[in-house]
Amino acid sequence: MQKSFDLFFVSSNNHKYHEAKKILDSFGIKLGFLKSDLEEIQSNSLNDIAIKKARSAFSKHKKPIIIEDDGLFISSLEGFPGPYSSYVFKTIGNKGILNLLKNNRKAKFVSIITYCDKTILESFDGKLNGTISKSQKGKGWGYDPIFIPKNSNKTFAENNSNKNELSHRYKALKKFSNWYLHK
C-alpha cells in the first residue's frame, strides 16, 4: 500500500528530513522524502538560495515540496559561515570553527523553509540565538556539538531530546505549518 503524503521534503540530508518530519507530524502534516542533490547558488542571502532550490526541486519532481536552507552566523566572524555553513562544515568542520574563535562566541542559527507548488512560492524563517562552545560536546550532526542555545548551558548535541521544540528549524516549520494549514 502506497503512503499518502501532503508534501515532500527535498534534500540530500536525511538528518534534516527526520527532524522536519517529526516536527510536521506534531502539526498533523504528512511529510514524504525525496532525496535529491539540488544545485546551490552562491549568495549571501539564505532566502535567495532557498527560493532557487525550491523552484529547482519542484521543477524536477512536479509535486508540492518544501526545502530548507540554514546557516550558522557567528558575530565575531562578521556572520561567517552564514550561507556557506554546509561548505565550511565539510571543509574545516567544528574543530576549524572552534580554532577561529577567541572571546566573543555569540552566534545564531537561521533556517529558511520554502514551499513550492504549481502556483505558490512562499518562505518562512526561524532564528535562534546562542553561543559557540569552547569544545565539541555530545554526539550529534552538523554544528549541534558546538552550538549552545540561549538560556541553556548544553549544546544541541548534549540536549538532543528537546532540540525539535526550540530550534531554528522548529520555528520556521511552525510558521510554515500555521500558513499551510490555513492556506
Whole-number Cα distances in Å, 137 to 14, 90, 95, 144, 160: 22, 19, 12, 9, 12
Q: How far apart are CA 126 and CA 70, in angstroms?
A: 9
Query: In b/e form, how buried is each residue of 33-51, taking b as 16+ CB within 10 angstroms?
Result: bbebebebeeeeebebbbb
Nearest to 70 by CA among 28, 20, 118, 7: 20
Of the candidates 6, 69, 125, 144, the residue annotated as catalytic is: 69
Alpha helices in the chain (DSSP H): 14-25, 46-61, 85-91, 93-100, 168-180
Can 69 be counted among the known catalytic residues?
yes
Nearest to 183 by CA among 121, 131, 132, 129: 121
Q: Which residues pair with 129 in a beta bridge?
A: 108
Give residue for cell 538560556: 151
Positions marked catalytic = 69
